[in-house]
Structure 1
Amino acid sequence: MTVTVDDRIEREVYVPAPIDRVWRVLTTPEHIRVWYAPGGCEIDPHPGGRLRFRWDEHGEFHGQVERAVPDTLFRFRLALEPDHAPSGPGEATLVEFALSPEGQGTRLRLAESGIRALAVPDDAKAKHAEYATLSWTSALEELAAIAAASHN
């Protein structure tokens, strides 16, 4: 049986808040703990900076910031396996958040790519893609709600 694996997950959300507010919610640990990593977060939002996201049920996931342009773009590599810093090809995906002004608010686009290049069997890649799609969808909804509520 052949397993079809999506290489890229894309989601977007409109946030009724100014772009600088959305950037803060996206890149500061106190906010990330609420919308994405309830077990805690450490982040150095500069190129080459390390990041760690923690979940009680999944462990701690390590990553490295590739690009951070305030109010515009936040890109990082995120390890597939918990408690393991990605050190080579096939060990991480690329996660990118792009922000753009739209009306009185902000359009936030997420893409996670490199799933097919992961050094795991196709069924594990497919499972990752399925889980990541659900978790990013709910995380973006939560992020948007936090940014909008904080703005009012």
Structure 2
Amino acid sequence: MVADRIEREVYVPAPVDRVWRVLTTPEHVRVWYAFEGCEIDPRPGGTLRFRWDEKGEFHGRVEKAVPDALFRFRLAQEPDHPLAPGPGSGSGSGDSTLVEFVLSAEGGGTRLRVTESGIRELSLPDEAKAKHAEYAAATWATALEELAALAAASHN
């Protein structure tokens, strides 16, 4: 059975507002996730673009953004495949997964959790869905560690 959702979390020894900036500001996202660049319009309905030389450009659409608390977006499964504009359709679009970051203050730092869901509903063969789930699990684990290190070291 293919995993339908990937969940990872990390404790970041930095305040929530700093973690939010590192999570949603293109110059920071280029360091911890989209190494060849990104564009982010963090408003609901806004577009995202994440670029990697080896994978191409992946498009997304913001579903919800609550500063210092929640950042949710749909992310296309295929490179160079823009998502249709408009309000979020929840899960089950077949061409994208739902990625959600939840931030919460904990002690003097921030608990950051990422969930990617809707993997089983992708329009892919089961073997490709399983590979996506495996890749997503490893990618989010590494990305969260990079984001945490950057936020802990960042002072802007």
TM normalised by structure 2 equals 0.93
Following superposition of structure 1 onto structure 2, how do residues 79-118 of structure 1 map, counting pairs within 5 Å? 79-87=76-84, 89-118=93-122
Gaps of 5+ in 1: none
Deviation at 1:14, TM superposition (A): 0.2
CA distance in 2, matches of 1:47, 1:67: 5
Q: Deviations along 1:39-78, whole A, 9 cap, x unmatched?
A: 1000000100000000000000000000000000000000
Deviation at 1:150, TM superposition (A): 1.3
Partner of 1:28: 25
Percent of paired sites with the same residue? 77
**Structure 1 residue 75 corresponds to structure 2 residue 75:** no
**Structure 1 residue 131 corresponds to structure 2 residue 135:** yes
Runs of 4+ that moved beyond 6 A: none
- Residue type at the aligned position of 2:12: V
CA RMSD of aligned residues (A): 1.2
Deviation at 1:12, TM superposition (A): 0.2
Gaps of 5+ in 2: 85-91
